[in-house]
Structure 1
Amino acid sequence: MQIKAILFDIDGTLVDTNDMHVLAWEEAFARVGASFDRQVIHDQIGKGTDMLVPTLLPDADDDQQEELGDTHGAIFKAQYLETAKPFAKAHDLLAHTHGLDQQVVLASSASQGELDHYIGLLNARDLVSATTSSDDVEKTKPAPDIFATALEKLPGIDPSEVIVVGDTPYDIEAAAKCGIAAVAVRSGKFEDAQLQAAGAVAIYDDVAALLAGYATSPLGR
């Protein structure tokens, strides 16, 4: 089956931000008197506020969750967003995909504002067919909403003709719930065992490695 569209995660996949999000969440939690080991926070990166906060603070009510999410977003925007850099060859991978007439879709648990910033950072405005952010859905990854919404923007394309590229188990789990295969990259600093357990069909070091092996990868086969 020829792949007609590729749904790319952004944070940790195309842009090197996972460690920044860990620090922003650490500060946000500290402001409400909560403290977690950074690895514990890292292991939740890839989820949106609606999934991350209840995992770490199960007693937080909806208002507290929203407040923490807003605090994290404000800290990330103020201290980290402008210094975030794309991974090597991230733009080239999107351009290569587009050049093969495969639709490029950015499907992220980030806010729409962050997503717009990243599109500019990746110089990808002319390459992207559709986007989905946390602002478009009720629940973020690992719920299927983000990828399901992206599929709705690809009329006539079957899930079997789509692949997800992501860096976290939550990308892979969300894709599976939509019947989409997922390729993982190690740049988000999750262990291979975690990615494999979630169902990754292939694992690459980063997007540069994926681009180098594109023709024989699940994206190009």
Structure 2
Amino acid sequence: MYDQYAALIFDMDGTLVDSGQLHEYAWTATLNKYGIPIDRPLMRSLAGVPTKGTIEILLEKFGITATASLDEMNDFKEQAVHDSMHLYVKPTALIDVAQRYHGKKPMAIGTGAYTEEANKILALCGLDKYIDVVVGADQVQNPKPAPDTFLRCAELLGIDPAQCVVFEDSKLGLQAAASAGMAGIDVLLVHAIENDYFL
């Protein structure tokens, strides 16, 4: 199905990994702790935005003066993810695509999560053996919807961006793929994979 591409790049959360409930749990705990309202449609629209960026958007949207530093709130959320990831994460149906092209085409993860967290989640899901490169938000200057994440994946794989296909579940991610000059696959439309994140 994707034979015409030289490399496959997957977003992680909501795309290759079913982790919607993990992040909903962690965000709910974080927002409740720091007195930030939970706007479910807004949270869903921010899927793929790194933690600090999401917090900044929420504080501005609700006109809230933070009671803690961005670093503290980020660390609280990341700790909640770390402590509970084993309870929630599993591969999506896209594992079939990863298995089909394993050993035939290089594959990367381009995620808004931090690299260390991504590596742990991929290992928990048994997906790490299929992935050659993991690029997290901590590796790029500008996260999605900027193209940096996917361009870094292509660079590390040694593949021309125009020869890469990106699998994404979010509008921001698909925008990043287009900006990188890559083909984008909306996994909900093409593979019926729905991210159960703040539905």
TM-score, reference length from structure 1: 0.75
* 1:172-202: CA deviation from partner (whole Å, max 9, x where unpaired): 111111111210122xxxxxxxxxxxxxxx6
For 1:96, the equivalent position in structure 2 comes to 100
Unmatched runs of 5 consecutive residues or more in structure 1: 187-201, 208-221
Higher relative CO (Cα under 8 Å, sequence separation at least 6) belongs to 2
* 1:5-31: CA deviation from partner (whole Å, max 9, x where unpaired): 011011111211123312311221222
For 1:205, the equivalent position in structure 2 comes to 192
TM-score, reference length from structure 2: 0.83
* Number of positions where the alignment pairs a residue of Structure 1 with one of Structure 2: 188
What's the offset of the Cα at 1:92?
2.9
Worse overlay, 64-73 or 175-184:
64-73
Is the 8 Å Cα contact of residues 18 and 42 (structure 1) preserved in structure 2?
no
Is the 8 Å Cα contact of residues 36 and 58 (structure 2) preserved in structure 1?
no
Unmatched runs of 5 consecutive residues or more in structure 2: 195-199
* 1:112-169: CA deviation from partner (whole Å, max 9, x where unpaired): 22211122133234322211112212232222221121121122x2222101001111
**What secondary structure, in the 3-state scheme, does the structure 1 residue paired with 2:21 have?**
helix
Identify if the C-alpha distance between structure 1 residues 16 and 125 changes in structure 2 by more than 3 Å, giving closer, same or farther.
closer
What's the offset of the Cα at 1:88?
4.4
What's the offset of the Cα at 1:68?
1.8
Is the 8 Å Cα contact of residues 7 and 164 (structure 1) preserved in structure 2?
yes
In 1, Cα distance between equivalents of 2:121 and 2:80: 17
Task: Give 1:18-167 correspondences, 5 Å limit.
Answer: 18-58=20-60, 64-78=69-83, 80-99=84-103, 101-155=104-158, 157-167=159-169
Worse overlay, 158-167 or 113-122:
113-122
Is the 8 Å Cα contact of residues 21 and 45 (structure 1) preserved in structure 2?
no
* 1:18-65: CA deviation from partner (whole Å, max 9, x where unpaired): 23312311221222221122232222121112431222112668x833
Identity over the aligned pairs, expressed in percent? Answer: 26
Residue identity matched to 1:149 = R
In 1, Cα distance between equivalents of 2:36 and 2:181: 37
Residue identity matched to 1:136 = Q
